[in-house]
Amino acid sequence: MYEPDAREKYKRVKNVDVLVPGIILNPIVPWFGYSADGIVCKNDEVICLWEDKTPAQRKKKGYKQISKSLEYIDQNTGRLKHKTCFMACY
């Protein structure tokens, strides 16, 4: 529900374009597909994939409260930790 708003804010803050793909298939292994929430581009060059995560606790707590309790967020930087149960690799 909030993904379009989050994507628009990300685009504004980072000054990038975010393309919204459908399913992405590798022609070599077409049975492995994925659907990223966005493909981040700057100056017509792909920078990274964008994946939106909305914690279920958000329904009960405010943004500031919940961000302090998320184990996959580095509390010093506010960024995703490199190894989490939510991200296999990136």
| Model confidence pLDDT, tens digit, residues 22-48 | 888 888 988 888 888 888 999 999 988
pTM, rounded to two decimals: 0.56
Best CA proximity match to 39, nearest among 27, 24, 54:
24
The DSSP bridge pattern shows strands 24-26 and 17-19 to be: unpaired
Question: What is the predicted pLDDT for the residue at 51?
Answer: 79
**Buried b or exposed e, range 17-47, using 16+ CB within 10 angstroms:** ebeeeeeeeeeeeeeeeeebbbbbeeeeeee
Residue 25 phi, psi (nearest 5): -120, 140
Residue 49 has pLDDT above 50, yes or no: yes
Please write the tens of the pLDDT for every residue from 5-14. Answer: 888 888 898 8
Residues 10 and 51 sit within 8 Å (Cβ to Cβ): no
